[in-house]
Amino acid sequence: MADAKRTPQTINRPLSPHLQIYRPQMTSISSILTRITGNGVIVAVALAVWWLLAAATSDSYFAVADAVVTSWFGDLVFTAALWGIWYHFLAGLRHLYYDQGRGLDIPTAEKLGWACIIGSVVLTVITILLVQ
């Protein structure tokens, strides 16, 4: 059980590194990107659901939703979501590799992080070129 009489002055713990000192590592960046891309995909799904609900509601409401979805903003959201989906796919494969106990050393983990980022960008560009 923890000692209730300890005060913050008596505990010798290192301070968290400040962002000016701390260099972000690929493992932390890939973890943050996984969360960001997951939320980005949620925004794209919400936009697509709004478009479908507008299509079922009325012609005038659909015209507004369709104008947003087919605008530069809609293109940006769906392109970012496509990248997010590819990133999540590759990060999932990386975690399956980790689950086997492989690639857990820092140099390999950093290479796999870069592979997820670069691979997801390449797959996004290929997908866009194939769709158009």
Structure confidence by residue, pLDDT tens digits, 82-100? 999 999 999 999 999 999 9
* 1, burial (CB in 10 Å: exposed 0-12, middle 13-18, buried 19+): exposed
**If you write DSSP's letter for every residue of 8-28 in order, what string do you get?**
TTT---PPPPPTTTPPPPHHH
Cβ–Cβ < 8 Å for 30, 70? no
| pLDDT tens column, 44-54 | 999 999 999 99
Q: Domains along the chain?
A: 26-131 (1.20.1300.10)
DSSP single-letter state for residue 72: H
pTM of the model: 0.78
